[in-house]
Amino acid sequence: MPTWTLHTEFKFDAAHFIDGYDGKCGRMHGHSYKVYIAAKSHKLNPSKYLKSADMVCDFKELKWAASVAEKGGLDHTVLNEEIQGSTTAERIAEYIHKETKARIPDGIDLTVTVWETDTSWVEYTDKDV
Asked whether residue 18 is assigned to any structural domain, the reply reads yes
Q: Return the percentage of the chain with pLDDT > 90, whole number.
A: 95
Asked whether residue 35 is assigned to any structural domain, the reply reads yes
Catalytic residue flag (residue 94)? no
- In sequence order, what are the beta bridge partners of 29? 16
At 50-92, the pLDDT tens digits run 999 999 999 999 999 999 999 999 999 999 999 999 999 999 9
| Marked catalytic residue, from 7, 9, 25, 42 | 25
What domain range includes position 89? 4-124
- Between residues 97 and 128, which one has the greater pLDDT? 97
For the segment 104-109, the average pLDDT, to the nearest whole number, is: 96
| Marked catalytic residue, from 61, 82, 94, 116 | 116
Cβ–Cβ under 8 Å, residues 126 and 99: no
| Marked catalytic residue, from 29, 61, 76, 97 | 76
Catalytic residue flag (residue 57)? no
Asked whether residue 113 is assigned to any structural domain, the reply reads yes
DSSP class of residue 68? B
Element (H, E) at 124: strand 120-124
Q: Is the pLDDT of residue 45 over 90?
A: yes
Q: Is the pLDDT of residue 112 over 90?
A: yes
pTM over 0.85? The answer is yes
Please tell me the distance from the alpha carbon of residue 24 to that of residue 29, in angstroms, as a whole number: 9
Please tell me the distance from the alpha carbon of residue 102 to that of residue 97, in angstroms, as a whole number: 9
Count structural domains, the chain. Answer: 1
Catalytic residue flag (residue 116)? yes
Asked whether residue 129 is assigned to any structural domain, the reply reads no
For the segment 31-55, the average pLDDT, to the nearest whole number, is: 97
* DSSP assignment of 11-29: EEEEEE--TT-SSGGGS-E
Asked whether residue 12 is assigned to any structural domain, the reply reads yes
List the CATH number of the domain containing 49: 3.30.479.10
